[in-house]
Structure 1
Amino acid sequence: MTVIVSTEQVPSRDRPAFFADAVMQTHFRHNMNFLEGPRPFSASITTDQLGPLRINRVLSGPAHVSRTPRLLSHDPEAYVTVSLQRRGTPKMLAQGGRETSVVRPGDIIMLTSYGPYASMYTEPVEIVSLVLPRPALLVPDSDLHGLTGRVIRGDEGLARLLSPFLSRLADTAASHTQEVGEQLARNVTDLLATLCAEQLGHDRLDAETAQRTLLLRIRFFINRNLAHPGLSPESIARAHGISTRYLHKLFEDEGMTVSRWILRRRLEECRRELDRRGPRTPTVSSVARGWGFTRLPHFSRVFRAAYGMSPREWQARSGLPVPGRPLPDMPERGTAT
Structure 2
Amino acid sequence: MITVTSPQGLEFTRIHASPQTMAGKLSPQPYSLWISIVDADSVALRHKGRTIRIHRGDIMFGSTGTDASLSIDSDFEMLYIKVPRTLLHHRLLNPTLLGVGHLSASEALNDVFARFLTCVSKNLEGITAHSMRPIEVTVLEFLVSSIAPHTMIEAFGSSGKLMHYQQICDSIENQLKEPNLNLGTIAQQEGVSPRYIQKLFEMAGTSFSQYVRERRLEHCRSELLSKEHRHLSISDICFRWGFNDAAHFSRSFRIQYNESPRACRQAVFPQAA
Answer 1 or 2: higher relative contact order, Cα 8 Å, separation at least 6: 2
Give TM-score, length-normalised by structure 1: 0.41
Larger Rg: 1
